[in-house]
Amino acid sequence: MRTSENSHKLLEEVYKSLFLIRHVEEKICDLYPTDKIKSPVHLSIGQEAVSVGVCKALTREDGVMGSCRGHAMYLAKGGNLKQMFAELYGKRTGCGKGRAGSMHLADVQAGVIATSAIMASTVPLAVGWAYAQAYQNTGNIGVCFVGDGALDEGCVHESFLFAKQKKVPILIVCENNEYAIHSHFLTRHPSKDYILNWASSYEMKCKRFEDDDPLALYDYVGGVADELRSGSGPQFIECYTSRWKEHVGPGDDFKLGYRGTEEVEKWKRKDQLIRIGKLLKPTVKQKIEQNVLKEIQEAVEFAECSPFPKPTELYENVYGGENE
């Protein structure tokens, strides 16, 4: 029996995290028509389980980095919910003081080191961050989430080489939702195995998950984390998943015709949120849901009540202090 299924506490945590991410994203969809969130939103609906499975296997001090589709990663790693909503609203109480918006979320206290709107730009960043952990013997590891599109950038490959050569404690997780905007994986790559073959050629230990089962990911990443902490060098995971919403924005996009509804329906039928929910006692499940919905409501209210940055604060954080 897998370790993860032994633990009720873990199941509850996984469910809470999945439910939180799903309902935060749905709240954003509800709010979007009000124009209060003036930020492009790359929603994680459908992809929650990858972040949850991986992040639950990490310590709070381990660091995660990812792209502008970063809400799931931020929340799964324990990023502050109030500061996230305030950031989406452009308020000065946001995690980036209103300068970040949806695309540059970070909560360093929770190990959410950075997300970036330039595809793949956080891959070298994550390798460097993890390198610094080994250098300073912190015992922390880094995890970088990267899309199947971003993975093609040259800096990813340059980073793989460095990570391998220096035995950097980093796990690279490719979230393969099969699309880069509207472009299918196979129009950009010759075969399904291409990504895994690539990663293997850097002599990294690699594994593919055809499904986004968060418990299977949790179990596997737990083992990987131990290996990384022991200094055995970088590893790679490719995990299939599915983006249910449009590339950016709150709607769906089946009217565009680049993909059929069945592709997504197939994933909706094995929705991990529903599956994990069924493993919990109904009373426990209900309690979790009530608490999470209350937390979301409070976060939205916090964002609504928070002040905007003032024009006089425009030049904040461009440089450090005068005397440095």
Partner 1 sequence: MSRIISYPEALKEAMTLEMESDEHVFILGQGVDDPKAILGTTAGILDKFGPKRIFDVPLAEDGITGIALGAAIAGLKPIHIHIRNDFLLLAMNQIVNMVAKMRYMYGGVHTAPMVIRATIGKSWGQGPQHSQSIYPMLMNVPGLRIVAPTTPYDAKGIMAASIRSSDPVIFIEHRSLYYQKGDVPKEAYALPFGKARTLAQGDDVTLVGVSQMAIECLRASKCLNEVGIHAHVIDPVTISPLDIDTILTSVKKTKHLVVVDNSWLPGALGAEIIAACHESQDCDFKSLRLGFAATPCPTTPSLEDAFYVDGVSIAKKIYHMLRHDSDWIPNTIIHREEVEFKGPF
Residue 70 in the binding site for partner 1 (CB under 8 A): no
For the chain, give the number of residues.
Answer: 324
SS3 readout for 165-228: HCCCCEEEEEEECCEECCEEHHHHCCCCCHHHHHHHHCCCEEEEECCCCHHHHHHHHHHHHHHH
- Residue 79 interacts with ligand TPP (CB under 6 A): yes or no: no
Query: CA 10, CA 68: separation in Å to the nearest integer?
Result: 28
Cα–Cα distance measured from residue 71 to residue 289, given in angstroms and rounded to the nearest whole number: 19
Taking alpha carbons only, the member of 68, 17, 82 closest to residue 39 is: 68
**117 vs 216, which CB is nearer to ligand TPP?**
117
Q: Is 150 in the site for ligand TPP (CB under 6 A)?
A: yes
Strand extents, DSSP E, the chain: 63-67, 112-116, 142-147, 170-176, 179-180, 183-184, 205-209, 235-240
Other CB atoms closer than 10 Å to residue 104's CB: what's the count? 17
Q: How many CB atoms are located within 10 Å of the residue 136 CB?
A: 9
Give the count of residues interacting with partner 1 (CB under 8 A).
Answer: 47
What are the distances in angstroms from CA 318 to CA 56, 98, 321, 322? 35, 14, 10, 12
φ, ψ for residue 161, nearest 5 deg: -60, -50
Window of 1-9, 113-121, 160-168, 261-269 that interacts with partner 1 by CB under 8 A: 113-121
Residue 274 is a binding residue for ligand TPP (CB under 6 A): no
Pairing of strands 235-240, 205-209: parallel
Minimum CB separation from ligand TPP for residue 173, in Å?
A: 12
Does residue 314 interact with partner 1 by CB under 8 A? yes
Fill in the per-residue mask, 175 to 194: x = in contact with ligand TPP (CB under 6 A), - = not in contact. Answer: --x-xxx-------------
**Least distance (Å) between residue 121 CB and Mg ion:** 16
Nearer to ligand TPP, 12 or 238 (CB): 238
| Cα–Cα dist 59/55, whole Å | 8
Q: Within positions 245 to 264, which residues make up the interface with ligand TPP, using CB under 6 A? A: 247
65 binds partner 1 (CB under 8 A): no
Which of residues 23, 166, 188, 208 is near partner 1 by CB under 8 A? Answer: 188
User: Quick one: which segment of 74-82, 133-141, 144-152, 281-289 binds partner 1 (CB under 8 A)?
Assistant: 144-152
CB of 319 to ligand TPP, least distance (A): 26
264 binds partner 1 (CB under 8 A): no
Interface with partner 1 (CB under 8 A): 35, 37-41, 90-92, 96, 98-104, 116-120, 149-150, 152-154, 180-183, 187-189, 248-249, 256-258, 308-311, 313-315, 318
Contact residues toward ligand TPP (CB under 6 A) are 69, 117-119, 147-150, 177, 179-181, 243, 247
